[in-house]
Amino acid sequence: MPAKGSMSEAETRLRCAVCGKPQEVRFKPFCSKRCAQIDLGRWLKGAYAIPGRDEDEGDGTNPPDADPGEGG
Ligand SMILES: [Zn+2]
Q: How many CA atoms lie within 13 A of 66 on its CB side?
A: 3
Q: How far is the centre of ligand 1, averaged over its atoms, from the C-alpha of 17 (Å)?
A: 7
Q: How many CB atoms lie within 10 A of CB 39?
A: 15
Q: How far is the CA of 65 from the centre of ligand 1 (A)?
A: 62
Q: Does domain 13-45 have CATH number 3.40.50.1980?
A: no
Q: 11 alpha carbon to ligand 1 midpoint, in Å?
A: 17
Q: Does the pLDDT value for residue 1 go beyond 80?
A: no
3-class SS of residue 16: coil
User: What is the model's pLDDT at position 22?
Assistant: 94
Could you tell me which residues come within 8 angstroms of residue 16 by beta carbon, excluding any fewer than 6 positions away? 22, 23, 29, 30, 31, 32, 35
Q: What is the pLDDT of residues 5-19, one digit of tens each?
A: 555 554 567 899 899
Q: For residue range 16-58, what is the model confidence (pLDDT) as tens digits?
A: 989 999 999 999 999 999 999 999 999 998 887 766 666 666 6
How many angstroms is it from 54 CA to the middle of ligand 1? 35
